Structure 1
Amino acid sequence: MDDGQAPPATAPKRADPGAAPMWRIARASIEMIMDMIEITRGAGSVLDPLIVSTVLEGNLALFNQDPELQRRYAEIDRPPPDELRRPISIAAVAGSLSLPYETVRRRAGQLVRSGALAATPKGLTVPAAALATPAYLAAAVARYERLKRFYLELKQAGVTAPAASAEPQDPALSGPPVRLVNRIIGEYMLRVNEQLLRRVGDAVSGILVLELGRANAEHLDHEARRIEAPLPDDLRRPVSILALARRLRLPPETVRRHVLRLEAEGLARKVRGGWLAEISALPRGGAAGPPIARNLANVGRLLSRLASLGVVAYWEAEAQAGGPAWTAEPPPG
């Protein structure tokens, strides 16, 4: 059990020169993913952000393939109009998230009543009005700032965005691309969820194993986080079922059921004082196995999108100018 003392120091392992710091990126990715879920869910269910993101991604699938439209509707005061959205069925959302149809139907009904979703004869949409409320705008700005921080963490770790095309971008980004970045975040989150589902089987278990991994390591200092390998037990703090339930605002019995399933899959382990995530078991083939490598590929795609749509250039120009002139407060209304 944790006695309140600092864990014994473990010397960081040196990565191969020139190799991407996969484990450092994985830890930063987990923290960013869980922060995004927390920002988005507000007081709602942990599944709500995934359902809304899946609907929005389906609505804007064609829109997201058009760089000109992406940049045209990049800023916070320019949501894409409703006529650009293509409805998506409840069955398609349930299939994408590997959730029971009735679970999605019930959650979607509550989201429709709250105004977060709209039901049409052809399926669900996220209406433009829902993307202009004060609550949404505040969350959109928070996600934008959180992704910018993730980008800066990667840059500090030596992971850089690919060079963007030298072709002029029209229209150019003239203000903080909050909506554009939020759409890119949605694409990234759904890719992560898809890959977790392949290994874990359901969205709640996937969220739980990531949150457990974050909770085990969140007390570590900067040097310990740089270890380029799975963290040893003596550096991690076990977490109880009740603590994990409080963190995710889920019923303890729901958390217990999913954690026992994760244990059976080799993704969680009971120790004195609570539970440890077995993130290194995700690969089923060593530290450099497929999921860790796929996370690296996902982050690379994220950086490519940010670069190709002008976001990286905007952030770098902002930094060279001495920081953002724009405040992190959404416009009224």
Structure 2
Amino acid sequence: MRASNALLLDILTEMAFGDDPLDRIILIAIAEANVAAVASDPDLSCRYSTLGAPPPDEMRQPVSVSAVAAKTGMAFETIRRRIRQLAEKGLCEVDASGVRVPTRVVARVENDAALMEICGLTRALYLQLRNNGCLGELVDRSIPPFAGTPPVRTVVRLAFSHFLRMMAGLVRAIGDLTTALILLATLRENAEHTADLPSAVVSPGLMPDALKVPASTATIAAMLELSEATVGRRLTRLVREGRCLRRKGGVIVAAAYVQRPEIMALLEFNYTSLLRLFEPLRQPGILAAWEAERER
């Protein structure tokens, strides 16, 4: 969870569109729903797998506002208001059939750079988890490494699906999306000094409070592009509820909170979601290609 937590937050910061994390989550949810038919069809997924081959508008199925609200865990009125604002900025289109992110937005140069970065982060997460023995043996040695044009869009579609599953899981376990993002950012800062260490070296189980580096309000606010006032109010409530602890220099997420049943269930859900992210990359030889790079 410590490793994959970083991917979730990096996806938010790498996205080239949207003024804040909630807008970006909404755009990811819309875009992912628009190409669900492509992602579920092996032939179409292969046809539209590379950076230079975004699915055209006729392949993008509109999605309802209520479906976006359900997928993100946000209130319907919040989603409707934000989608209207995003449409005014030209980032999505709304009509009677629903909402979609058009190809002209998806294919922007700055978006290509973001997709390349997210693909690289997904690969790095896979290799980090493999180095830590977290995923078991996913690679089929009989499958040759993928050798064609990198299927960036295929990898990113799977990463976005994992991202949205985890956002929904976080809302269920924590209560609301903004608080969930603040807890994720706090956890990342608490454990960032151990990011390159094997999990077994850090601790045999959950990271104890004594090993965590406190996160300041300003650092969390900057990471999430939220106001310090908003983050400060949420952190005060989290401390009052016992979910976080005050320490010199900031706050830490309490180990006692991570041990609660709903959070432990979230850790299990994260593991299952990671398998759903990486397993589809086995048969095309993408994992084998990553493994070959790892061994070089």
**Counterpart for residue 69 of structure 1:** 44
**Contact 1:140–1:179 under 8 Å retained in 2:** yes
1:92-120 per-position Cα deviation (integer Å, ceiling 9, x unaligned): 21232222333222322232233321222
SS in 2 for 1:250: coil
Match of 1:14 in 2: none
Q: Distance in 2 between matches of 1:179 and 1:130?
A: 15
Q: Which has the higher contact order (CA 8 A, sep 6+)?
A: 1
Would you say 1:192 and 2:166 are equivalent positions? yes
Aligned counterpart, 1:242:
218
| Map of 1:211 onto structure 2 | 185
Instruction: Give 1:165 deviation, angstroms.
Output: 11
Change (3 A) 1:291 1:314: same
For structure 2, the residue ranges without an aligned partner over 5 or more in a row are none
Q: Map 1:268-279 onto structure 2 (within 5 A).
A: 268-278=244-254
Which protein is bigger by CA-based radius of gyration? 1
Do structure 1's residue 104 and structure 2's residue 79 form an aligned pair?
yes
**Which among 125, 130, 136 is matched to residue 111 of structure 2?**
136
Describe the SS at the equivalent of 2:21: coil
The residue aligned with 1:116 is 91
Superposed, 1:48-67 pairs within 5 Å as 48-67=23-42
Long gaps (5+) in structure 1: 1-25, 323-333
Paired position in structure 2 for 1:30: 5
TM-score by length of 2: 0.87
Residue 183 in structure 1 maps to residue 157 in structure 2? yes
Q: Partners of 2:285 and 2:80 in 1: how far apart?
A: 38
- Number of matched pairs: 293
Confirm or deny: 8 A CA contact 1:237 1:276 kept in the other structure.
yes
Structure with a larger share of its residues in helix: 2
Residue 238 (structure 1) shift: 1.3
After superposition, the Cα gap between the structure-2 partners of 1:120 and 1:164, relative to the gap in structure 1 and judged at 3 Å, is farther
Change (3 A) 1:131 1:314: farther
The Cα of 1:166 is off from its aligned counterpart by: 7.2
The equivalent residue for 1:17 is none
Shift of 1:181: 0.8
CA distance in 1, matches of 2:173, 2:54: 35
Contact 1:75 1:180 in 2 (8 A): yes
- Equivalent-residue separation in structure 2 for 1:267 and 1:306 (angstroms): 36
Could you report, residue by residue, the CA deviation over 1:27-68 in whole angstroms, capped at 9, with x for unpaired residues?
A: 111112111111115672011221011112221222221122
Aligned residues: percent identity?
31
Q: TM-score scaled to structure 1, two decimals?
A: 0.78
Which of the numbers 259, 262, 281 marks the counterpart of 2:257?
281
The equivalent residue for 1:230 is 206
Offset at residue 229 of structure 1 (A): 1.9
Q: Matches of 1:277 and 1:41 in 2, distance apart?
A: 29
The 1:279/1:187 distance shift into structure 2, 3 A limit, reads farther
* 1:264/1:173 CA distance change after superposition, 3 Å: farther
Does structure 1 retain, via aligned residues, the 8 Å contact 2:18–2:24?
no
Per-residue deviation at 1:249?
1.7
2:120 matches 1:145: yes
- 2:210 partner amino acid: D
Aligned to 1:78: 53
RMSD: 2.8
Give yes or no for contact 2:183–2:253 (8 Å, CA) kept in 1. Answer: yes
Kept after mapping to 2: 8 A contact 1:154/1:160: no
| Partner AA of 1:274 in structure 2 | G
Give the residue type in structure 2 aligned to 1:93: V
Q: Distance in 2 between matches of 1:94 and 1:305?
A: 27
